Amino acid sequence: MLQRIQTIYLLLAAITSSGLIFVFPLFQITGNEGVWVFAEDQVVTLSMFLGSALLSLISIFKYKNRKSQFILGRLNIILNFFLLGFFVYQSLNVSGETLVSKKGIGMLLPIVSIVFLVLANKAIKKDEDLVKSVDRLR
């Protein structure tokens, strides 16, 4: 059943992880002229964002097995926390930090993805509890 609310949340998480990374910059290194760094400029960041989007899309089509959908959601949340930690580490160790770099809104995209994934996992858990309660009545 693709018409459940968790599908919308997972789709929004996938769009955030795959589409918005090309729109919002991660940070700006100021020097002679400000250079904005996007996720596509760094292989590790791009692969982690696309891996998160892929996990969200796989989780959407695992709608028949709610337990595996829930586990994939948790793995995706962990991946986004690693990505967020990588951004914090990178923002503290940006080359040329003495020239004062500006942080971009792209560094907050993992937080937005985490919020959507938590909402999706909450809806999946609610569905699982509903199915268990109906099975008790049989």
Q: pLDDT tens, 80-116? A: 999 999 888 877 776 555 554 677 788 889 999 999 9
Confidence label for 124 from pLDDT (cuts 50, 70 and 90) = very high
Categorize the per-residue pLDDT at 31 as very low, low, confident or very high, splitting at 50, 70 and 90: low
One-letter-per-residue 3-state SS of the chain:
CCCCHHHHHHHHHHHHHHCHHHCCCCEEECCCCCEEECHHHCHHHHHHHHHHHHHHHHHHCCCCCHHHHHHHHHHHHHHHHHHHHHHHHHHHCCCCHHHCCEECHHHHHHHHHHHHHHHHHHHHHHHHHHHHHHHHHC
In this prediction, residue 73 has a pLDDT band, given cuts at 50, 70 and 90, of very high
Among 25-34, 52-61, 92-101, the range of highest mean pLDDT: 52-61
Rounded average pLDDT over 25-51? 80
